[in-house]
Structure 1
Amino acid sequence: MKDLHAVVTGGGSGIGAAIARQLRKAGARVTLMGRNVERLKATGLPYQPADVGDEASVRAAFTACGPVDILVNNAGQVETAKATATSLELWQRMLQVNLTGTFLCSREVLDGMAKRGFGRVINVASTAGLTGYAYVAAYCAAKHGVVGLTKALALEYAKKGVTVNAVCPGYTETDIIERSVQTLVAKTGRSADEAKAEFARSNPQGRLVQPDEVASTVLWLAGAGAVNGQSISVCGGEILR
């Protein structure tokens, strides 16, 4: 990774922060992007403020940070609601952050990568991009879109030294899970440990995935030139059921 410039969106915490650490340890020069400037500052890494769902913000951030060799589209958001209670605003938010954000950031770097004859785009999707889950219809639709976008871009740039792949984590021990645990506690009266165990049970290994396990898969894809257009599950076998 020496002399390669990597950008990680949503890199201030959780999976994004773990990815940034591993890329940095492997020798890459890392720039973080995200909306929470305080979290970005706390990492001690270079950063550019960016709202990935806003075209002007994305363009300004990538113009400021210069050529990119590795792009990790990690920024994402999940909200839960019964399908018939899903407002158009919620639907649009899920698409804007998870799918449109991935598209906008990728669009900023792909042609530059192609001109230099090297590039890696790695999209952090979800097992929700490979299967369905109740009460997250908008999120599932967005993440399925990310998987489809990954395949289309992989074919479009395959002969130009650029690969485009996705990683699809299952339930991972991050702030998102912590918020989901608190929601489950509030709605059901279960303890936090019982609520967390509910998420862990979906994994045949009986545990939550760790951010560094997702980051290791991203690091592998960054060095795997013959792997293209794939969506790699990091979920302990959850979607085999």
Structure 2
Amino acid sequence: MAIRNCLVTGAGSGIGAAVAELLSGQGHRVALAGRREEPLRELSARLPGPSLVLPTDVTRPEDIESMFAACEESWGPVEVLVHSAGAGDSARLESTTDTMWDRQLELNLTAPFRCVRRAVPAMRKAGFGRIVVVASVASKVGAPYVSAYTAAKHGVLGLVRSAAAELADTGVTVNAVCPGYVDTPMTDRSVASIAAHTGRDADGIRAKLAAAQPIGRLILPGEVAAVIGLLVQEEALNGQSLMVDGGSVQS
């Protein structure tokens, strides 16, 4: 595969950082976007190939525009977009406020929509593009206490499928990966939140999350990145939502 201009959101840690390392290791140029600059700079320093550090809040439309503009100014149009930025809130349905609901849709559905919309014109013109959205097992099944997050993740899967159908004859593919519980800072925050709300032991909570995967452990960020790498390579994979969950949801 030719050397490509790649943009990874949520690159400061977890899945996004693992994806950036994989793509850079394959020789691609990788722009690193995330809210916190320091982790992005630390990641940039250890990547083997060219990189850009782009502090970005993807819930701000002006930040998204600046992020893409910086890539275009330095390297040219974004050819590979991996949207990994996201987070979850946990609450009982009756305790889920409008603010929580709006925040989850803004971050997990509207932000990827805006990024995909911004990336598509140049990809369509070039006759090549790869878009991968990090969704979730919550894109496929519901779970207690995460109604807003689950609604947003179900929605982003609809976005992926519709965009893939629209762009199928242009050389642009759009796919999603749907991880289960991954050993990332996001899972650490989930464990801490559950422990704070329930008084249960954090180690016990983590063990229960690990057991939710049939393989009996948390998924590793590199395992998710490897699947994303496949989606970046293969044009025949389009409109797919690949589960990376150790077999908990057979889809």
TM-score range, shorter chain: over 0.9
Aligned match of 1:238: 248
Query: One-letter code of the match for 1:12?
Result: G
Residue 72 (structure 2) pairs with residue 62 (structure 1): no
Q: What is the deviation of 1:27?
A: 1.2
* SS of 1:159 mapped into structure 2: coil
Calculate the aligned-residue CA RMSD, in Å. Answer: 1.3
Aligned match of 2:8: 8
- 1:25-47 CA-to-partner distances (Å, cap 9, x unmatched) read 11111001111112211212422
Q: Report percent identity of matched pairs.
A: 46
Shift >6 Å, 4+ stretches: none
TM-score, scaled to structure 1: 0.96
Alignment of 1:192-211 (within 5 A): 192-211=202-221
Query: One-letter code of the match for 2:235?
Result: G
Segments of structure 1 that go 5 or more residues without pairing to the other structure are none
Asked whether the 8 Å contact 1:98–1:142 carries over to 2, the reply is yes
Aligned match of 1:110: 120
Q: What is the deviation of 1:49?
A: 1.9
Query: One-letter code of the match for 1:17?
Result: A
1:49 corresponds, among 40, 46, 55, to 55
Q: What is the deviation of 1:189?
A: 3.9
Aligned match of 1:214: 224
Asked whether the 8 Å contact 1:32–1:48 carries over to 2, the reply is yes
Larger mean Cα displacement after TM superposition, 199-208 or 40-49: 40-49
Residue 142 (structure 2) pairs with residue 132 (structure 1): yes
Taking structure 1 as reference, are residues 8 and 173 closer, same or farther at Cα in structure 2, changes over 3 Å only? same
2:84 corresponds, among 61, 74, 79, to 74
Aligned match of 2:47: none
Asked whether the 8 Å contact 1:53–1:104 carries over to 2, the reply is no
Aligned match of 2:33: 33
Query: One-letter code of the match for 1:102?
Result: P
2:96 corresponds, among 81, 86, 92, to 86
Q: What is the deviation of 1:193?
A: 2.3
Q: What is the deviation of 1:2?
A: 4.0
Number of residue equivalences: 241
Residue 155 (structure 2) pairs with residue 171 (structure 1): no
Segments of structure 2 that go 5 or more residues without pairing to the other structure are 45-50
TM-score, scaled to structure 2: 0.93
Q: What is the deviation of 1:190?
A: 3.6
- 1:190-221 CA-to-partner distances (Å, cap 9, x unmatched) read 43321111101111111100000000000000
Alignment of 1:150-189 (within 5 A): 150-189=160-199
* SS of 1:226 mapped into structure 2: coil
Q: What is the deviation of 1:172?
A: 0.3
